[in-house]
Amino acid sequence: MRVMRSLALAVAAATVVAAYSFFSADDQAIEAVARSKACAGGGPKCHAALARVVKTPFFQDRQFRVGNATVEVRCTRTAILLGDYQCAIR
């Protein structure tokens, strides 16, 4: 009984952390970093148009149109559910 109660408390805590992480993220800052990654090597005239966003508590995927190409960028947290986002081209 005590194990089940502890497990339920741990799941509830993880859910609260995930929800806080999901709703409190600064999307503008994340999008700026993702857009910069999408334009990597494109020079100052690069224009990355946001086409699609997928947002979860664990990662954010952003798809950009850069010229005729489609570039997907995934931004993940440095720690599970916590920490700053780091973005990389997929």
Angstrom distances, CA of residue 1 to CA of 7, 11, 12, 28: 10, 15, 17, 45
Tens-digit pLDDT profile for residues 12-69: 888 887 777 667 767 898 999 999 999 987 888 899 999 999 988 889 999 999 999 9
Structure tokens at 38: 């999408």
- For residue 25, what pLDDT is reported? 66
Return left, alpha or beta for 83; rule: phi > 0 is left, psi -120 to 50 is alpha, else beta. Answer: left
- For residue 86, what pLDDT is reported? 93
On whether the CB atoms of residues 50 and 17 are closer than 8 A, the answer is no
Which amino acid makes up residue 36? S
HSE toward the beta carbon, residue 73, CA cutoff 13 A: 27
Report yes or no on whether pTM surpasses 0.85.
no
* All domains of the chain in start order, with CATH: 2-89 (3.10.450)
